[in-house]
Structure 1
Amino acid sequence: MDVLPLDRQVCFALYTATRAVTARYRPLLDALGLTYPQYLVLLALWERDERTVKDLGAALRLDSSTLSPLLKRLEAAGLVARERRADDERSVAIRLTARGEALRERAAEVPARLVCDGGLDPVGLAELRDTLVRLTAALQRQGEIDAGALHG
């Protein structure tokens, strides 16, 4: 059996699914004045407000050079505030503003639209998410093993 046809590739299925999901989110997020990465930052803050940049980066799996411009734009839009922590001047805390908190209610409609438009019921979407989380964790573990072998 030929393993190289494009339609048999998991990577291609993930790639096209990611593009389709992001494209479906775009008009929903445009109505909120957000980009997809900004939405992800807000999701993390709505889950737990007042996080450090380092903590947000870990939650979103983003480095600070990618996260900092997102935070600056969210701050300029009045959705978050950045403040140096009094207990550690090197650390910056990010917190939602009243406007950022208020946007949560409107944003709550976004995931429901994906359920309606995605052709999967909530259970099917949850199973897909869980499978992707397991795949990501396994690939990250293998990457760490490979990196350790290279540097070991």
Structure 2
Amino acid sequence: METWTSLRSGCGEVRATANPAKAKGTAWETAWTRYIQEHHNPAAHRNVQMGRLDIGDVSGYYLHAAELKAEKTITLADYIAQANREAIHAGQPFGCAVVKRRMKGVADGYVVRDVRTDVRLVSRLKIMEEALQDVDFSRWFEIDEELREAA
């Protein structure tokens, strides 16, 4: 006999369901997608799951396949391995796990990558910033100043 439960998570109301863990995961994916739509990319969206050829839970996080996790027990190694596989399937250069922080909202969650992926990302950022400085230093300076103020 299934037990129907209503949960309240740190990312909004969760509908009654026979699988509370799945409902929490869905609520986290939905909340994070809305956050990314508001702060990063209005076209971000949740993906349909495709089994072993999954492309991540959410598309639209620039250059990333994002694998979202809202679990009581956190297993980073598994999450990162899954995110990196899904980045390959999605044709994205970077994979990341987006992990819900218990009892906190979306902005307090964690985006996690392995060191290899993070160094590739930061190297790309460095190269691109240097290229923009070479082409249009004043534009780079404006962007840098704006982003420093936002931090």
Give me the TM-score of the superposition, normalised by structure 1: 0.33
- Name the one with the larger helix percent: 1
- Name the one with the larger strand percent: 2
Q: Which has the larger radius of gyration?
A: 1
Between 1 and 2, higher relative CO (CA 8 Å, sep ≥ 6) is seen in 1
